[in-house]
A = this chain, B = another copy of it.
């Protein structure tokens, strides 16, 4: 077992990576970021053992990867670019050096995947493992939850329900490489949609990332924008063979798609005709009501699945 000082040296070496926007990285009281003419967006997100992840079923590198992506997704939801990351790590006394290396290699892989440096952090002991990630980003004009206008289209950046089904598949003992590979990867290695930030900033009137599930996050967006939404359930994009795969695990596909959560796709509103298909698929329309109304492909009402009180 290394001393805290040795561990900090390992972390520092792992994350030593320069960026023009970072004047000073790991090793001082603070990181220093160069001045910027753009606004800053800023978020923090915690991944806590036995609340957000369970070690064993999830490998340490997957836990690290996912912790960073979940935090970075908030930056994408503002239409912003990620500038820097701070990592506050709390490790149980029994946490080994090789486990720390695995955790941090997943974290570093995620940071590389979004092209954003880890510029500092904090290391401490704790009873349970936790990784608290703060991310700073930059944007000309932030996209908030509050800008949706009646008549706008409602869009989603990718398939929903996969992460939730992936978690069920893992719990049921399915291998990462089998029939549930796509869904399991969506759960274990989500991608913050920072690839869409610039496009979102151009076209979106409001946005939120789907972390709690479409139902809840759509309710948040509607509440902040004081609008309602007519949602076409048949238009919701799903992973390949989703109904079949969900059914084989005794799960309701619609429920997973509507309430699954943790896909970290973006939900946004925009003027009709202004969203290229590679940015988002239209799933509904903003209305002047204050409710979310589900309809089928024929435009007729669809009853709410059980337990969807947040839609009411």
Q: Are A134 and B134 in contact (CB under 8 A)?
A: yes
**Complexed CA–CA distance, A41 and B124 (Å):** 21
A-B contact pairs, 21 of them (CB 8 A): A27-B145, A28-B145, A28-B146, A30-B43, A30-B75, A30-B77, A30-B78, A31-B42, A32-B42, A33-B41, A35-B37, A35-B39, A40-B40, A40-B136, A42-B120, A44-B132, A46-B88, A46-B90, A50-B127, A51-B125, A127-B128
A30: chain B residues within 8 A (beta carbon) = 41-43, 74-75, 77-78, 80, 137, 142
A contact residues, total (Cβ < 8 Å): 58
A153 interfacial contact with B, CB 8 Å: no
**Complexed CA–CA distance, A4 and B125 (Å):** 27
A224 interfacial contact with B, CB 8 Å: yes
Given contacts A23-B39, A29-B78, A74-B30, contact A44 B88 (CB under 8 A): yes
Closest Cβ neighbor of A123 among chain B residues: B46
Q: Are B74 and A43 in contact (CB under 8 A)?
A: no
Q: Are A29 and B77 in contact (CB under 8 A)?
A: yes
A170-204 CB mask vs B (1 if < 8 Å, else 0) is 00000000000000000000000000000000000
Q: Are B48 and A124 in contact (CB under 8 A)?
A: yes
Q: Are A52 and B124 in contact (CB under 8 A)?
A: yes
Q: Are A132 and B88 in contact (CB under 8 A)?
A: yes
A213 interfacial contact with B, CB 8 Å: no
A36: chain B residues within 8 A (beta carbon) = 35
A41: chain B residues within 8 A (beta carbon) = 30-33
Q: Are B134 and A44 in contact (CB under 8 A)?
A: yes
A122: chain B residues within 8 A (beta carbon) = 44-46, 132
Q: Are B43 and A31 in contact (CB under 8 A)?
A: yes
Further pairs besides A28-B78, A35-B40, A42-B120: 12, Cβ < 8 Å = A24-B142, A28-B224, A29-B209, A30-B41, A30-B42, A32-B42, A35-B39, A44-B87, A44-B88, A44-B132, A46-B122, A128-B128
